[in-house]
Chains A and B, each alone.
Chain A
Amino acid sequence: MKRTHLQTLSLRDRRRKLVNIFMQVLLFLAAVLAIFPLLNVFLYVFKQGAPSLNASFFTHLPAAVGEAGGGMANALLGSLTLIFLASAVGVPIGIATGVYLSEYNYGKLPRFLRFTTDLMTSVPSIIVGMFVYAVVVIPMHGFSAYAGGIALAIIMAPFVARTTEEMLKLVPDHIREAGLALGISRWKVIVRIVLKGSLGGVLTGVMLAVARVSGETAPLLFTAFNNKYWARGLNQPTASLPVQIYTYAISPYEDWHHQAWAGALMLVVLVFVLNVFVRLIFVRKGTSV
């Protein structure tokens, strides 16, 4: 029996409608599936980490094997030291590069530099660790906070450079033109007007970079190394939160696993708070710009 035109059309349309609904549900499920691991990680980090996150976690040195309790005070201080060193080196370099990319954007160098910076942000972090091991640790004859800080700075600088450039590009040209028209010298226009005006955005980038390097483990494994005690100086091996978590996680001891979860909770909360904070600032700024 021959079908009429209308019948085939409606059948086909029915199929199209079903496919339409099916695919939309599939896309929704993809979103659910992607978010699920995040929630699961959060759930476990809080469930396992919260009980061990007590006062002694912040004030005590790691306990010996088999001893309950103890803390990560040295690792927390070590992480702060490393982040401070990394920021002291990486942030000025990053901001300077970002300013150069945005304000002197002519000729071939900026394009090449932008490309290099992009590549730098995607260098595997363990490679940075190897490089710093070869150029800092070996000449200094030992693992040190300096080496760890430099490794983190190398990861941080390109990141800061790119966000700084993005932020400065949001400043309209006529503001620069107005400054120059008043006879202000160029560098003052850049520093006092352009950079100052977008300071919030630049700091946002810096904070995101801090959030990012505060969880870095791989570049610290053979630069800052680890230390069971307080580091007695910046030229000594230094414990850090991520490396301590790694060491504890792969150890066979139950007590250390609890400590690892508590450390992970610290890291996740830090990163999450920084990100939410940054986003709130950014949203507020975004409406005013």
Chain B
Amino acid sequence: MPQILTCEPLLTQSQLDRHEQRRFKSMMPVSAHHPIQSSTLNTIIGDGASHPELPSTRSIRNKRRDRHRSDRIFFWTLRGVSWLMIGVLVAMVAELAHVSWPAFHKFGFRFFTSRAWDPVNEIFGGLPFIYGTIVSSLLALLFSAPISIGVALFLTEIAPAGVSKVVGFLAEMLAAIPSVVYGLWGIFVLAPFLREKIQPGLGHHLGFLPLFQGPPYGVGMLAAGVILAIMITPTITTICREVFRAVPLGQREAALALGATRWESIRMGVLSSSRSGILGGIILGLGRALGETMAVTMVIGNRPDISASLFAPAQTMASAIANEYAEASSSEHVAALTALGLALFLVSLVINAIARFLVWRINPLRKRRGRP
């Protein structure tokens, strides 16, 4: 998914003289993608500053020259449509806040700390769902992060180009499979497998831990964690792959030249300099795990309990909404579910913003190896 990692134009210190800098202060600097073309044009046409009547030929995409009315109409149409995107996001927050207001008004902050979820008596506390969301997502990260980093390292550092291409494609296909198909597979393949093969063994050997107590249902927190791990693996792998690709070749070669083994060159040359990018990938994976609905709804067992055991059924914020929203009859119930949705929405916005910030920082390096 290349669209996650966008290459911001590298902010080169432009060759504009000071006078021009003042004149075009509002302009974005020259796009770093085509420095040769821009400078060639400069030498052909000459410096724009010496011909004040000529518009600058630099950064054609960055400066607007709307002589014609049709140009202005075009520009403002695009601009209006673009604002629509921002408007929808703002409207989403506003509308969810509006609908969920009665729940916050009635329960206050207790909504997030109370365990009671009783639609019949209209008492709502979201803690079991918040707990379910956090635990299932962390479980998914625990399973997925090491594997994803491993896959990304395998693809960029070890595998031959052909193998890397095929395996990389398959890893990305994991992201393309619809959530509901994972859910179906989870119900009929994964849950029975966990119930018959994994959970009895875990219960037998590690049953003294509260994590592995209780009857093996198959469906439950563990199944949700595993299926989420499968679903977020491509996300983390893709980001890590981009991050590792961005590490200059010389860093690996330097380590190898000093006598490092291949693993040592990976550890010292690649891993040590891509920590923030890896973290960004993991957080992005977390964002995806938090909001994932269908597959989780189908395998988590849907019981709003807080249990220490990973075998026990649980429920997440998203699965509560999927299960109850269409059937919620009272407006209080709708408000409470919307409050869960709003909380989930805001948390996932913040998490994605953080992740994108972390991943964006590596982008200047990406130019070295070009786009895949």
Interface residues, chain A, CB within 8 Å of chain B? 16-17, 19-20, 23-24, 26-31, 33-35, 37-38, 40-41, 44-45, 48, 92-93, 96-97, 99-107, 109, 112-131, 133-135, 154, 157-159, 161-163, 165-166, 169, 172-174, 176-177, 180, 185-187, 190, 205, 211-212, 214-218, 221-222, 225, 242, 245-246, 249-250, 257, 260-261, 264, 267-268, 271-272, 275, 279
A-side binding surface: helix, strand, loop or mixed? helix
Q: How large is the interface on B (under 10, 10 to 19, 20 to 34, 35 or more residues)?
A: 35 or more
Is the Cβ of B181 less than 8 Å from the Cβ of A264? yes
> Of B159, B179, B344, which contacts A127 at CB under 8 A?
B344
Bound-state CA distance A94–B175 (Å) is 21
Chain B residue nearest to A213 (CB atoms) is B178
Bound-state CA distance A118–B61 (Å) is 21
User: Is B188 interfacial (CB 8 A cutoff)?
Assistant: yes
Which residues of chain B have C-beta atoms less than 8 A from A260's C-beta?
184
Bound-state CA distance A33–B237 (Å) is 13
User: Is B290 interfacial (CB 8 A cutoff)?
Assistant: yes
> Of A38, A97, A105, which contacts B173 at CB under 8 A?
A38
Which residues of chain B have C-beta atoms less than 8 A from A31's C-beta?
150-151, 154-155, 159, 167, 171
Q: List 20 A-B contacts (CB under 8 A).
A: A31-B154, A34-B147, A35-B170, A41-B177, A92-B81, A96-B78, A104-B64, A118-B352, A118-B356, A125-B293, A127-B291, A130-B338, A154-B88, A163-B3, A166-B2, A173-B59, A186-B68, A205-B3, A215-B180, A249-B298
The stretch of B25-33, B103-111, B202-210, B245-253 that contacts the partner chain: B25-33
Question: What is the distance, in angstroms, from A32's C-beta to the closest C-beta of chain B?
Answer: 9
Question: What is the distance, in angstroms, from A146's C-beta to the closest C-beta of chain B?
Answer: 16
User: Is B132 interfacial (CB 8 A cutoff)?
Assistant: no
Bound-state CA distance A217–B298 (Å) is 12
Q: How many A-B residue pairs have CB under 8 A?
A: 312
User: Is B38 interfacial (CB 8 A cutoff)?
Assistant: yes
Bound-state CA distance A19–B325 (Å) is 53
Question: What is the distance, in angstroms, from B159's C-beta to the closest C-beta of chain A?
Answer: 7
> Of A20, A41, A92, A211, which contacts B185 at CB under 8 A?
A41
Is the Cβ of A97 less than 8 Å from the Cβ of B263? no
Is the Cβ of B318 less than 8 Å from the Cβ of A218? yes
